Amino acid sequence: MELHDLWFVVIAVLWTGYFFLEGFDFGIGVLTKLLARDRPERRVLINTIGPVWDGNEVWLLSAAGATFAAFPEWYATLFSGFYLPLLAILICLIVRGVAFEYRVKRSGERWQRNWEHALFWCSLLPAILWGVAFGNIVHGVEIDADKEYVGGLLDLLNPYALLGGAVTLSLFTFHGAVFAALKTTGEIRYRARSCATWLGLLATGLAAAFLLWTQADQGKGSSLAVLIVALLALAVAVGAIRAGREGWSFAFSGLAIVATVAVFFLVLFPAVMPSSLDEKWSLTVSNASSSPYTLRLMSWCALIATPLVLLYQSWTYWVFRKRIGTQHLADSAH
Amino acid sequence: MALAPETLSRWQFGITTVYHFLFVPLTISLASLTAGLETAWVRTGKEKYLRATMFWGKLFLINIAMGVVTGIVQEFQFGMNWSDYSRFVGDVFGAPLAFEALIAFFFESTFIGLWIFGWDKLPKRIHVACMWMVALGTILSAYFILAANSWMQHPVGYRLDKGSGRAELTDFWLVLTQNTALAQAFHTLAAAFLTGGAFMVGIAAFHLRRGKHVPVMRTSLRLGLITVVIAGLLTAVSGDLLGKVMFKQQPMKMAAAEALWDGEKPAPFSVFAYGDVDKGHNSVAVQIPGVLSFLAHDDFSSYVPGINDVNKAEQERFGPGDYRPTIPVAYWGFRWMIGFGMTSFALGALGLWLTRKKFLLPRRLRTGEEEVPRLVLLRAPLGARLSRWYWRLAVWTLAFPLIAGSWGWIFTEMGRQPWVVYGLFQTRDAVSPGVSQGEVILSMTVFTLLYAVLAVIEVRLLIKYVKAGPPELTEDDLHPPTRIGGGHGDGDGDAQQDRPMAFSY
Q: Is the pLDDT of residue B360 over 70?
A: no
Mind telling me how many Å the CA of A311 is from chain B's nearest CA? Answer: 11
Q: Which residue of A has its CA nearest to B431?
A: A80
Measured distance CA(B20)–CA(B149) in Å, rounded: 15
**CB spacing of B504 vs A47 below 8 angstroms:** yes
Q: Is the pLDDT of residue A315 over 80?
A: yes
What kind and span of H or E run contains A326?
Answer: none
**CB spacing of A80 vs B66 below 8 angstroms:** no
Mean pLDDT along residues A294-310: 92
Measured distance CA(A174)–CA(A253) in Å, rounded: 8
pLDDT at A49: 93
**CB spacing of A69 vs B503 below 8 angstroms:** no
**CB spacing of A313 vs B110 below 8 angstroms:** yes
Q: Is the pLDDT of residue B30 over 60?
A: yes
Mean pLDDT along residues B359-366: 65
**CB spacing of B66 vs A98 below 8 angstroms:** yes
pLDDT at A47: 92
pLDDT at B369: 72
Return the percent helix, strand and coil in chain A, to nearest 5: 80, 5, 20
pLDDT at B378: 58
Mind telling me how many Å the CA of A214 is from chain B's nearest CA? Answer: 28
Which of A54, A293, A329 is the closest to B170 by Cβ? A293
Distance between start and end Cα atoms, chain A:
55
Predicted confidence band of residue A308 (pLDDT cuts 50, 70, 90): very high
pLDDT at A75: 93
Query: For residues B426 and B476, which has the higher predicted lDDT (pLDDT)?
Result: B426
Q: Is the pLDDT of residue B353 over 90?
A: no
SS3 assignment for B176-241: HHCHHHHHHHHHHHHHHHHHHHHHHHHHHHHHHHCCCCHHHHHHHHHHHHHHHHHHHHHHHHHHHH
Mind telling me how many Å the CA of A318 is from chain B's nearest CA? Answer: 8
For residue B76, the chain A residues in CB contact (below 8 A) are 64, 79, 86, 90
Of chain B, the percentage scoring pLDDT greater than 90 comes to 49
Q: Which of B79, B141, B148 is nearest to B109 (CA)?
A: B141
Which of B101, B432, B486 is the closest to A80 by Cβ? B432
Give the CA distances from residue A139 to residues A146, A171, A268, A269, B327, in Å, rounded to whole numbers and listed in that order: 19, 20, 8, 12, 50
For residue A86, the chain B residues in CB contact (below 8 A) are 76, 80
Centroid of chain to Cα A20: 6
| Maximum average pLDDT range among B148-152, B206-210, B258-262 | B148-152
B373-412 pLDDT, tens digit per residue, is: 777 665 566 677 777 788 888 888 889 999 999 999 999 9
Q: Which of B1, B157, B17 is nearest to B73 (CA)?
A: B17
**CB spacing of A65 vs B100 below 8 angstroms:** yes
Per domain, the residue ranges of chain A are 3-328
Predicted confidence band of residue B35 (pLDDT cuts 50, 70, 90): very high
**3-state SS class at B287:** strand
pLDDT at B254: 86
Predicted confidence band of residue B285 (pLDDT cuts 50, 70, 90): confident
**CB spacing of B117 vs A75 below 8 angstroms:** no
Q: Is the pLDDT of residue A146 over 90?
A: no
Quick check: bond before B362 cis, omega within 30?
Answer: no
pLDDT at B359: 56
Give the CA distances from residue A189 to residues A174, A319, B501, in Å, rounded to whole numbers and listed in that order: 14, 20, 19
The two beta strands, B158-160 and B167-169, are antiparallel
Q: Is the pLDDT of residue B267 over 90?
A: no
**CB spacing of A83 vs B122 below 8 angstroms:** no
Q: Which of B62, B118, B502, B460 is nearest to A100 (CA)?
A: B62
**CB spacing of B505 vs A298 below 8 angstroms:** no
Predicted confidence band of residue A168 (pLDDT cuts 50, 70, 90): very high
**CB spacing of A105 vs B102 below 8 angstroms:** no
What mean pLDDT is reported for chain B? 87
Query: For residues A36 and B290, which has the higher predicted lDDT (pLDDT)?
Result: A36
A68-83 pLDDT, tens digit per residue, is: 999 999 999 999 999 9
Which of A86, A305, A329 is the closest to B103 by Cβ? A305
Q: Is the pLDDT of residue B1 over 50?
A: no
pLDDT at B377: 62
Distance between start and end Cα atoms, chain B:
50
Mind telling me how many Å the CA of B408 is from chain A's nearest CA? Answer: 26
**CB spacing of A75 vs B90 below 8 angstroms:** yes
| Maximum average pLDDT range among B68-82, B263-277, B350-364 | B68-82
Measured distance CA(A181)–CA(A100) in Å, rounded: 21
Beta bridge partners of B425: B421
pLDDT at B489: 57
For residue B116, the chain A residues in CB contact (below 8 A) are 50-51
What mean pLDDT is reported for chain A? 91
Query: For residues A175 and B389, which has the higher predicted lDDT (pLDDT)?
Result: A175
Q: Is the pLDDT of residue B101 over 80?
A: yes
Mind telling me how many Å the CA of B309 is from chain A's nearest CA? Answer: 37
For residue B68, the chain A residues in CB contact (below 8 A) are 54, 97
pLDDT at A219: 79
**CB spacing of A68 vs B97 below 8 angstroms:** yes
Mind telling me how many Å the CA of A180 is from chain B's nearest CA? Answer: 16
Predicted confidence band of residue A143 (pLDDT cuts 50, 70, 90): confident
Which residues touch B62 (CB under 8 Å, ≥6 apart)?
A101, A102, A105, B458, B461, B462, B465
pLDDT at B358: 64
Amino acid at residue number B420 = V
Best mutation target, A122, A291, A316, A326, to test chain B (most B CBs within 10 A): A291
Q: Which residue of A has its CA nearest to B90?
A: A72
Which of B69, B161, B168 is the closest to A94 by Cβ? B69
Mean pLDDT along residues B291-304: 80
Best mutation target, A42, A71, A80, to test chain B (most B CBs within 10 A): A80
Q: Which residue of B has its CA nearest to A153?
A: B439
For residue B502, the chain A residues in CB contact (below 8 A) are 330
For residue A291, the chain B residues in CB contact (below 8 A) are 91, 161, 168-169
Which of B81, B91, B484 is the closest to A291 by Cβ? B91
pLDDT at B129: 94
pLDDT at A19: 95
**CB spacing of B504 vs A81 below 8 angstroms:** no
pLDDT at A280: 85
Which of A51, A69, A103 is the closest to B90 by Cβ? A69
Q: Is the pLDDT of residue B365 over 70?
A: no
Tell me B278's DSSP state. T
Mind telling me how many Å the CA of A300 is from chain B's nearest CA? Answer: 10
Centroid of chain to Cα A152: 25
Predicted confidence band of residue A316 (pLDDT cuts 50, 70, 90): very high
Mean pLDDT along residues B133-161: 93
Mind telling me how many Å the CA of B90 is from chain A's nearest CA? Answer: 5
Measured distance CA(A256)–CA(A27) in Å, rounded: 15
Which residues touch A198 (CB under 8 Å, ≥6 apart)?
none
B439-492 pLDDT, tens digit per residue, is: 899 999 999 999 999 999 999 999 999 999 898 888 777 888 878 777 665 555
Predicted confidence band of residue A36 (pLDDT cuts 50, 70, 90): confident
